[in-house]
Amino acid sequence: MSRDTQLKERWEKLVDILSNQFSQGEDLDLDSIIFLIGVQELGKLHREFKKDEKLNLMHIAICRLLEPYGYYEFDFVDQEGWPHYKVKEQLPALKAGEQSVLMKEAIVNYFIEKELID
């Protein structure tokens, strides 16, 4: 099985699992899944977030997802419990489709690590 086919199958399985758990019948999109990862990484699951906090959650998720690729490194958790990362290497200029594939691959790897999918 090619790497692209395996990624596509794992992505579809993951979207199905997360959509069934967190959505009312609609498939979650990439941004929604990134947001969920941010909430998971923050560890404060049952609360409302302000608009700027939602952006920060997505930033946390992106940093965490791209950490294994060498782009970010965990730095510290602040007094309010928010994780902070530092940039290790600038992301290369990627086209939109390439960004999407990178993020989907990183998300699939994250949920393999969390043992939600295999």
Cα gap 72→41, rounded to integer Å: 15
Cα gap 104→80, rounded to integer Å: 29
Check whether 3 has a pLDDT greater than 80. no
> In the prediction, which pLDDT does 72 show?
97
Task: Give 41-78 pLDDT, tens digit per residue.
Answer: 999 877 889 999 999 999 999 999 999 999 999 999 99
Q: What's the token pair of residue 108?
A: 């699939």
**Where along the chain do its domains lie?**
3-113
Please tell me the pTM assigned to this model: 0.92
Cα gap 56→39, rounded to integer Å: 10
